[in-house]
Amino acid sequence: MRTSQPQTIYLSDYKVPAYLVDTVDLRFELFEDGARVHSTLAIRRNPDSQESAPPLELDGDSLVLESVALDGTALSESDYENRGEQLVIRSVPERFSLSVVTWIEPQNNTRLEGLYKSSGMFCTQCEAEGFRCITFFPDRPDVMARFRTRIEADQKAYPVLLSNGNDVDRGELDDGRHFMTWEDPFPKPCYLFALVAGDLVEKRDTFTTCSGRDIDLRMYVEPRNAEKCDHAMDSLKRSMRWDEEVYGREYDLDIFMIVAVDDFNMGAMENKGLNIFNSSCVLASQETATDMAFQRIEAIVAHEYFHNWSGNRVTCRDWFQLSLKEGFTVFRDSQFSADMGSPTVKRIEDVTLLRTAQFAEDGGPMAHPVRPASYMEISNFYTLTIYEKGAEVVRMIHTLLGPELFRKGSDLYFQRHDGQAVTTDDFVRAMEDASGRDLSQFRLWYEQAGTPMLTVSDEFDEGQGVYRLTIEQTIPDTPGQTNKKPQHIPFALGLLGSDGQPLPLRLASDEAEAPTERVLELTEGVHTFEFHDIPSEPVPSLLRHFSAPVRVRYPWTREQLLFLMNHDPDGFNRWDAGQRLAVDVIQRLIGSPDDAAIDPRLVEAYRKLITDTDLDQALVAKMLQLPSEAYLIELAESADVPAIHRARERVLEHLAEALRDDLVACYQRQQETGPYEVTPAAIARRSLRNTALGWLLMINDDEGRALAVRQLNEADNMTDRMGALRALVNSDYEADRRQALDDFYDRFRDDPQVVEQWFSVQAASDRAGQLSDIEQLLAHPAFDWKNPNKIRSVIGSFAGQNLAAFHNPDGSGYRFLADQVCRLDDSNPQIAARLVTPLTRWRKFAPAYSSQMQSALERIRDKDGLSRDVYEVVHKSLAG
């Protein structure tokens, strides 16, 4: 817990560590009332450090210090200073061994950082600064050591004892206890340390690497989850193969382990050789997990596995470099998912997240560069900017270099920095050195926050056959940053002729063979490009594949958007044109009378999507999703959420009424024929069917209702069951909704992952998730204040997805959220700080809302003993 005013930490203050640790020898004695940790460190002065005879400073948090010995001699209390958060020994030799014994209480650890208990098992989470909650240590990623770990525990309660590396010893002890010793040959920062002890079942498989080594793959789960491991195991093997084929990366240890735990602050953690997962991000079966969950699990398993190279073998010098491993690894997992499924759909999903949530972050009070210059609490910087924008930055390098040079660059990066803790700049330099390209201006993407805005205008000179495109870039001010420099932006585009055919893009009139798509490189404030031999006024297809994380402003007409929806060879831009058209229609309706007309062209465009079975059905399934309320808010100047919600619902209802018969036909056409599969085609089928169902229930269609009830009872998979449940929950059929929810709960009450979905579908619904309903969910016996998934599925879904209810004009939603944040701040500050996010956006909303959001933030600010996590978010949000 915080004892003083939180301090700001600056990148510019970085100093190399004064001492290095070569080896760490750990012995854990695990008991029900606590754990004793014996640590012996082999320490030596860092030859690169300029300091002369610096004191040894070790980090610690919530530790009871039992003893300290230097080179085997016990130190007395006058030899060291235990400042609580630091253990300082003023004078130490050049090279020595330090033995420290600490006592900790995992059973009372509700922050879920360091060593804690979850469903009766011991587990750890050390990134970013959790290792200091286990023992005193220089808890920074540029101190890399070889770890040896002995775990001792009761044999019956904890038959499985795991840590990083290879198991080298095991045996029995007195009193029914046993031990196991693990040794990790690869030096690693302490944030990658992990320990697990529990009564778990083991699932085994093997993988033969490209050089012919057999790797032992193991998953450890609670016995009731034994049947839910296959998908993750298959995903792991696909990831291992893919990383060999696409990046030339082979796995290094002989064992790779995955453990599922129920109480976990985030999705998963890439500890060396021992990945720990939130149960909801690894366990799946057809009956209990939706298609989305299957895809998410595959992506997260891949992401954590890929970290073995991008993160573990080559790690971060300091936490300002977090995107070095996260941005690159998200880019790698998105390439993997694209290869495993539909690349266009994957791109649409990534861009949707980026444009709604990351752009909002980049335009809000917590905006920070991909490489931040300062922070108070590093846990607050595991953000969409570090992860998703960071991945977009790597993607742009890939676009600028092309796949071959990019691969040369990544090979050089891994070879040059293997075993080192490095910076984002080292990554860019490897890309430069391998490709010969100058990326100095490109580096601004790491330094400047804010989403660049590209304003595009064009003119067509019919006489000359020249089409001129002018692109101006501006980057908005963000906290602490003004007057930004133009960035280096790859801008992919194509031009379509009046017949819908792509035109050759001749940048010079004498260019013979011209491509129909080009990547223009923007480096200045304004650029004008001329395209020659253009027969008639073209329709531009701008920023294809979303080639840069920017906003584009161009005066599209609805005709142009409809034309692009039908003809653009870039699937992503077809989808984007549809989104822009729908946004335009919805925006015009906001605040207008209920009988205002809705453009019939939108209806016809959607009719074509629903009825034309020759179209790519996976793309169609995405195109049918109207822009979300969150995205419409992001686009608004001063958002009135209930008005946005009404306008969007009116468009949905209008579409559903006009297309009613086509929707029923679409539903019937998409019936499942074969066994359940998670392929793009099958996912699209289920998505289309469930979209049709949802729309029919929006208009209280009795046939739709009957279809939903039948689907709910007969579904053989969770996607269809959840699709029907969601449709009923969001409908006006109140009795059916209640019945459906009760039946569903009775069927799945023993499965926490499904109960989380059950909470979430209600909390996110404007029909079933009014504030009084949310309060009832919090009082439900299955709700658990210690379990982050439950908190997210009720409170997070309400504030993040049930936007009309959260933004109730009476301010009750805001006060409710503030109260929950204050309550959680004591038990789990990381989760509390995440939950504040919707309030931090107060400047986006119309004054009646924003003033009440500010009051809610003030209410949190005034809580006694506020954690550093929440302090930082709340103070930055209220500032300025």
> Is the CB of 329 or the CB of 410 nearer to Zn ion?
329
Closest approach, Cβ 303 to Zn ion, in A, equals: 6
Report how far apart, in Å, the C-alpha atoms of 238 and of each of 57, 260, 343, 345 are: 43, 19, 17, 20
- Which of 622, 698, 621 is CA-nearest to residue 659? 698
Q: List residues bridging with 474 in a β-sheet.
A: 453
Closest approach, Cβ 479 to ligand B3K, in A, equals: 22
88 neighbors 279 (Cβ within 8 angstroms): no
Closest approach, Cβ 350 to ligand B3K, in A, equals: 16
Task: Tell me if 263 contacts ligand B3K by CB under 6 A.
Answer: no
- What is residue 214's three-state secondary structure? strand
- Which of 279, 284, 246 is CA-nearest to residue 261? 279
Q: Which stretch binds ligand B3K (CB under 6 A): 41-49, 302-310, 519-527, 871-879?
A: 302-310
304 is catalytic: yes
Interface mask toward Zn ion for 840-859; x: CB under 5 A: --------------------
Give the span between the Cα atoms of 539 and 496, in whole angstroms: 5
- Which of 31, 8, 765 is CA-nearest to residue 374? 8
> Is the CB of 112 or the CB of 697 nearer to ligand B3K?
112
Q: Which stretch binds Zn ion (CB under 5 A): 170-178, 321-329, 613-621, 786-794?
A: 321-329
Task: Tell me if 304 contacts ligand B3K by CB under 6 A.
Answer: yes
> Is the CB of 307 or the CB of 527 nearer to ligand B3K?
307
171 neighbors 215 (Cβ within 8 angstroms): no
> Is the CB of 329 or the CB of 358 nearer to Zn ion?
329
Candidate residues 111, 132, 249, 303; the one interacting with ligand B3K per rule CB under 6 A: 303
Give the span between the Cα atoms of 24 and 186, in whole angstroms: 12
**Residue 127 contact among ligand B3K, Zn ion, none, beta carbon within 5 to 8 Å by kind:** ligand B3K
Give the span between the Cα atoms of 714 and 538, in whole angstroms: 51
> Is the CB of 372 or the CB of 769 nearer to Zn ion?
372
Phi and psi at residue 118, in whole multiples of 5°? -135, 125
> Is the CB of 308 or the CB of 560 nearer to ligand B3K?
308
Task: Tell me if 320 contacts ligand B3K by CB under 6 A.
Answer: no
136 neighbors 59 (Cβ within 8 angstroms): yes
What dihedral do alpha carbons 835, 840, 844, 847 form, nearest 10°? 100
Candidate residues 35, 58, 128, 663; the one interacting with ligand B3K per rule CB under 6 A: 128
Q: Which stretch binds ligand B3K (CB under 6 A): 151-159, 261-269, 278-286, 781-789?
A: 261-269
Give the span between the Cα atoms of 475 and 452, in whole angstroms: 4
724 neighbors 712 (Cβ within 8 angstroms): yes
Pairing of strands 518-522, 551-553: unpaired
Interface mask toward Zn ion for 323-352; x: CB under 5 A: ---x--x-----------------------
Candidate residues 87, 190, 253, 266; the one interacting with ligand B3K per rule CB under 6 A: 266
317 neighbors 363 (Cβ within 8 angstroms): no
Q: Which stretch binds ligand B3K (CB under 6 A): 32-40, 201-209, 217-225, 299-307?
A: 299-307
Task: Tell me if 382 contacts ligand B3K by CB under 6 A.
Answer: yes
Task: Tell me if 319 contacts ligand B3K by CB under 6 A.
Answer: no
**Residue 266 contact among ligand B3K, Zn ion, none, beta carbon within 5 to 8 Å by kind:** ligand B3K
Q: Which stretch binds ligand B3K (CB under 6 A): 87-95, 265-273, 460-468, 505-513?
A: 265-273
Q: List residues bridging with 44 in a β-sheet.
A: 20, 95
Detail the DSSP E strand segments found in 446-578: 453-461, 466-474, 489-496, 518-522, 526-531, 539-541, 551-553
**Residue 688 contact among Zn ion, ligand B3K, none, beta carbon within 5 to 8 Å by kind:** none
**Residue 318 contact among Zn ion, ligand B3K, none, beta carbon within 5 to 8 Å by kind:** none
> Is the CB of 386 or the CB of 729 nearer to Zn ion?
386
Closest approach, Cβ 191 to Zn ion, in A, equals: 12
Report how far apart, in Å, the C-alpha atoms of 783 and of each of 108, 281, 786, 791, 835 are: 19, 19, 9, 8, 17
Position closest to ligand B3K via CB: 127
Task: Tell me if 127 contacts ligand B3K by CB under 6 A.
Answer: yes
Of the listed 29, 222, 298, 304, which one is catalytic? 304
**Residue 579 contact among Zn ion, ligand B3K, none, beta carbon within 5 to 8 Å by kind:** none
Contacts of 259 (CB under 8 A, 6+ apart): 123, 162, 196, 200, 219, 220, 221, 274, 275, 276, 277
Report how far apart, in Å, the C-alpha atoms of 753 and of each of 106, 718, 788 are: 24, 12, 12
Closest approach, Cβ 673 to ligand B3K, in A, equals: 38
Closest approach, Cβ 307 to ligand B3K, in A, equals: 6
Give the span between the Cα atoms of 817 and 651, in whole angstroms: 30
Task: Tell me if 379 contacts ligand B3K by CB under 6 A.
Answer: yes
Task: Tell me if 264 contacts ligand B3K by CB under 6 A.
Answer: no
Closest approach, Cβ 71 to Zn ion, in A, equals: 39
> Is the CB of 45 or the CB of 303 nearer to ligand B3K?
303
DSSP string for residues in 363-414: TSTT---SS-SEES-GGGG--HIIIIIHHHHHHHHHHHHHHHHHHHHHHHHH
- Which of 764, 786, 782 is CA-nearest to residue 773? 764
Closest approach, Cβ 382 to Zn ion, in A, equals: 9
549 neighbors 598 (Cβ within 8 angstroms): no
Please identify every residue annotated as catalytic: 304
Which residues of this protein are in contact with ligand B3K, per CB under 6 A? 127-128, 266, 268-270, 303-304, 307, 326, 379, 382
Which residues of this protein are in contact with Zn ion, per CB under 5 A? 326, 329
